[in-house]
A and B are shown apart, each in its own frame.
Chain A
């Protein structure tokens, strides 16, 4: 079984402040982890992924995420938030089990960056 928890419904942050969006996961084996962003009435845009190697992953638009196996977390971070970062963010996991095709998504976090 695989699942993702995004505990906060909405994250409010002032422009220029650090942004953190939390994600924890549960898998039977080892995970592939992803972050996506969705703007209103649009599909999901890929931000970054963790497959293997360095725990700190850098992605698009200045975002990064840190894989923490002991805490089963993959929090998304950005050092200085922009108003244009206001959107819906989804964390996703895919268990590396053989033949597993599916991504499990979290419920999503609405990020609001206040000017």
Chain B
């Protein structure tokens, strides 16, 4: 099956710093990438959707200036959490899908962010 990688898997940072998370599709071209946030024992909350070369579309309530998304190529998207605060601590999961409407969305392994 298709593989999506995420880096780093864990990050601990101080309040006020910025953190960048990378998401890569390793063996397919991802025309669309998604970023999710997941709280313990809960479902996934979609934060934003991005198409390669276009601006991301953010879900209602997600601050685009705080969660910067760049989908620079067909295999790479990045999420930068700017001026992180403890309430941003969470499990962030990226997902990627190829071009076809019937294509499956594949998920990365997730990044555990802890803001002190």
Q: For the complex, what is the distance from the CA of A101 to the CA of B109, rounded to whole Å?
A: 21
Give the interface segment out of B13-21, B43-51, B65-73, B82-90: B43-51
Interface residues on A, range: 20 to 34
Q: For the complex, what is the distance from the CA of A24 to the CA of B8, rounded to whole Å?
A: 35
Residue of A nearest to B59 (CB): A102
A28 interface residue per 8 A CB criterion: no
B108 interface residue per 8 A CB criterion: yes
Interchain CB contact under 8 A, A102 and B49: yes
Contacts of B101 in A (CB 8 A): 96
Given contacts A102-B46, A105-B44, A107-B42, whether A45 and B107 have CB atoms under 8 Å apart is: yes
User: How many A-B residue contacts, CB cutoff 8 Å?
Assistant: 49
Least distance between A7 CB and chain B CB atoms (Å): 14
Interchain CB contact under 8 A, A34 and B104: yes
Name the one of A43, A102, A106 contacting B4, with C-beta atoms under 8 angstroms: A43
Name the one of A46, A101, A106, A108 contacting B32, with C-beta atoms under 8 angstroms: A101
Given contacts A102-B46, A106-B43, A108-B43, whether A49 and B104 have CB atoms under 8 Å apart is: yes
Apart from A42-B110, A44-B93, A103-B105, 16 more pairs, CB < 8 Å = A32-B102, A36-B107, A41-B112, A42-B109, A43-B107, A43-B109, A44-B107, A46-B1, A49-B104, A96-B101, A101-B34, A105-B43, A105-B44, A107-B43, A108-B42, A108-B43
